[in-house]
Amino acid sequence: MSRIGKKPVSIPKGVTVTVSNHVVTVKGPKGTLTQDIDRDIEIEITAEEVLVKRPTEQIRHRAMHGLYRSLISNLVKGVTDGYKKDLELVGVGFKATHAGNILDLALGYSHNIIFEVPKELKVTTTTEKGQNPKIFLEGSDKQLIGQVAAKIRGLRKPEPYKGKGVRYSDEVVRRKAGKAAGK
């Protein structure tokens, strides 16, 4: 039995969970999220928790069991607390500014990069003297925040020699020795 799949997902106050036509809908103070569920997986909703059950011990059912329990748990956490991702721009002359959901990035290329953040997310930027510019992403959808943060990071990945580039604030970049270290 899946250790993750058999744990119930507790439903906090102010959150409603419904299932119709294999689509789970979670409504809460931070919005509404939906997730399609495999037709073989059963969802049982009680007053204060959600249980995910599988019909057989097939490999496919066992794989889906823990997956959908985790996805439902992420939906519930997203509509109650929300998710955050912080990015840091390391490099001389690297800048980030925002106007609404339009992000203007100067990453050392010949032109600035204009990046449009989806309207479901809230983006803020800070530039303090003596510190690297930071980008903060907030929203209720964990998958969307991770995807947008990965796209922004992909515009200029951190390189291993000087460590310049866009990185997550908790990311550790392994540094390499340059040519001089080989002699």
> Could you give the CA distance from residue 104 to residue 20 in angstroms, rounded to a whole number?
41
Nearest Cα neighbor of 112 from 124, 131, 99 is 99
Helix or strand run (H / E) with residue 45: strand 42-45
CA distance 156 to 159: 9
Note whether 97 and 65 are same-domain residues.
Answer: no
**Domain end call among 49, 64, 80:** 80
Are 48 and 95 members of one domain?
no
- Identify the band that residue 183 occupies on the pLDDT scale cut at 50, 70 and 90: low
Q: Residue 158's domain is classified under what CATH number?
A: 3.90.930.12
- Angle at which helix 59-80 crosses helix 142-154, to 10 degrees, equals 90
Do 125 and 136 meet the contact criterion of CB atoms below 8 Å apart? yes
Same-domain status, 129 and 163: yes
Q: Are residues 74 and 95 in the same domain?
A: no
pLDDT at 3: 83
Q: Looking at 80, 111, 142, which one is the last position of a domain?
A: 80
Within a domain: 43 = yes
Q: How many domains does the chain have?
A: 2
SS3 94: coil
What are the tens digits of pLDDT across the range 22-49?
999 999 999 999 999 999 999 999 889 9
Residue 175 belongs to some domain of the structure:
no
**Residue 20's domain spans which residues?**
9-80
Domain's final residue, options 80, 104, 119: 80
Q: How many CB atoms lie within 10 A of CB 149?
A: 19
Tens of pLDDT, residue by residue over 153-171, are 999 999 999 999 999 999 9
Predicted pLDDT at 2: 61
